[in-house]
Amino acid sequence: DTLWDLAIAEVKKRENPDDDDDVKPGGVWEKSILFMGNKNGGKTTIILRCLEREESPKPTLALEYTFGRRARRHNTPKDVAHFWELGGGTSLVELIRIPITSHNIRSFAVVLVLDLSKPNELWTTMESLLQVTRSHVNKILTKLEKANPEVAAEIKQRMWNHLQRDHPDCALVDPFPIPLVIIGSKYDIFHEFDSEMRKIISKTLRFVSHYYGASLVFTSKSEALLLKARALINHLAFGYDKSKSLSVDPSKPLFIPAGLDSMSQIGPPPASDSDLGKMRANTPLELWKKVFEKTFPPKSFCDLQDTKDPAQDSQYAEYEVDVMRAQKNQELEQYKRNASKSWKEMDFDSD
């Protein structure tokens, strides 16, 4: 195809959003996944393991992209999965507008990585990232309802596909508008916590995942746990079969695919009846938040405070650019010194 042919095809695609975004010419499937979560929470490590890449993870600066390819059968075109990773914890959340668009919303999913070793940052990180993402997705769906109501209705219906129609929790949950996986990372550190602390965190994350219609898995650098997380991600990325295993024992790593939990199995928030009676909440989610933050008060932190100047990072080094930058910095400092001298030498009229 010529460049002109490709341009025409792209315009037709944008003018007909009712076409299936998942399937491309030749029967190739394309999916997109956004990884976000705590700063230094292990997102890059999980992505590299999913893509079977033997690389040392590097800090993610802002928003990074990579991709993976898999063939469903021998001698068939390979399906493509686009992996986006949001760095900086919650500080750069507005960048989610770049990967999540109206053109790929039908084939998009989110993986939220929460650092289990930092429970005082857990709820704040989760709430900030999911609220902004949900708001952005809802704006896209609102526009789609006017341009293509059938597609918008299909996406909204998918939100409930993980629950059976007669599930007793239908009135108590609020599914996330696109597929969501919650990963609790650094389980090896978390496992050393007091058993009561582990129970509260595990129970809370079970509720949150069930409330949002998400899958939940705890992982660490352990190969066995990484494989479980990889199974959930491969289902989102390449349509692999869902894992049917289930682990809800708080003394072990949790693994709960979406739709396999229930409020009755999770139980009430971990607080006494008298404490629960004093807490005012408009939604179940708000009640669980208050109970969780009573044990783990939210820590005041800034994701940007430890951010280093990327120009000084060796992984972005470019000799010619760095030499020129050093020269310009010297010229700037010289200009400041000269300007300072000239101002001091000026004789201002005090009248």
Please state, for a pLDDT cut of 70, what percent of the chain lies above it: 85
Domains of the chain are 27-267 (3.40.50.300)
Q: Residue 108, class by beta-carbon neighbours within 10 Å (0-12 exposed, 13-18 middle, 19+ buried)?
A: buried
C-alpha 108/C-alpha 49 separation (Å) is 20
For 149-171, the DSSP string reads HHHHHHHHHHTTTTS-TT-TTTT
pTM: 0.78
Segment holding 127, helix H or strand E: helix 119-147
Q: What is the pLDDT of residue 337?
A: 77
Mean pLDDT confidence for 191-208: 94
Q: What is the pLDDT of residue 20?
A: 45
Q: What is the pLDDT of residue 147?
A: 87
